[in-house]
Structure 1
Amino acid sequence: MRVLLASRNAKKLGELRRILAPSLPGLEVIGLDDVPPYAEVPESGATFGDNALIKAREGFRRTGLPTVADDSGLAVDALNGMPGVLSARWAGSHGDDTANLRLVLDQVGDVPDDRLGAAFQCSVAYVSADGEILTDGRMPGRLVREPRGANGFGYDPIFVPDGFDRTSAELAPGEKDRISHRGQALRALAERLAET
């Protein structure tokens, strides 16, 4: 089966392949760079689920391929759950990981260390001719003051998952996949797809 991931993010594509392959042998995952270009729709939803469905529906409509899309972000307790759905464009420009990360660190600069709780949240949508599936995942943890590690992307270098003393960016890919918000949501999707 061929599935489109409605993303150009090579790291997300690799993550999706690693997580889904064991549960769905024979699945071929391609990205937006592998299909004829189309204008991507704005992520205008109020929730991660809304945005994931917007992207998956558009990918399916444009290509006819079963389409997977995710929306995920960081919810910081001291920022009342923000940046949330605005995580990728928190500093104003979409996808500027360094600026987004620095802005969050600046915003929690006066917050005591014991109040730096946060969580990564993710919704994954799957849209095909057979219908729609939406799954969710959540990885709780806390922020650290300085970026650490070279793996991962986004806010991974300042986020330490519960039960660990290393940031998400210091974890090996397989180790992160086992506990991550996206890993949880993708495994739940794989289970649903395996039932069909």
Structure 2
Amino acid sequence: MLFKKIILVFIFAFSSAILFSQKDSTAVKDVKVKGRFTKNKKGVYNPLAPSKAAFYSAIFPGMGQIYNRKYWKAPIVWGAIGTSIYYYLDSNSEYKRYRRAYKLRKQGLQDEFTLDNGTEIASLATLERAQEQLKENRDMSLLSATILYVLQIVEASVNAHLLQFNTDDNLTFKPTLVQDPIQFDAPKVGLTIKYTF
């Protein structure tokens, strides 16, 4: 039992030494480049870019995507949120129409679903079911518009974070075809890993 505890202490000590020996890549002295980004030894880095992108997206949907220079994403955001808002407004107006007819019918007055001769096109139960369905559709459209609004803010922020990653060829994964000198007829597929410090 004592031997297991000693091994556990050594593993903890070695793993914590490895964790504390890493350098912070953002602690390198920064130099201004064109006012928007800062350049350090590792490359271009702007710590405020994700928060700016999220702020712009919160003010006006799609502006965070434009700030990140992903112009093609802005019409997708506008279309998605606009479609949800359209269906919300349409369901809300239809709900009010059926609600008004239901209230008039309950009071014994003529509504738009009653003909002049007193024949009812839609029964009271039908008006009630239509109200419930339209209210549910309206609420789902509002919920989807809200979710899309929040998602586009998160997407702009995450995209601004990911734009700052160093993606040079020092670390690459490339599938390659390797010819076997003994068997020429069957090429072999391999994976080359290149990692430089």
The TM-score bracket by the shorter chain reads: under 0.3
Q: In proportion to residue count, which structure has more helix?
A: 2
TM-score norm. by structure 2 comes to 0.23
TM-score, scaled relative to structure 1: 0.23
Task: Name the larger-Rg structure.
Answer: 2
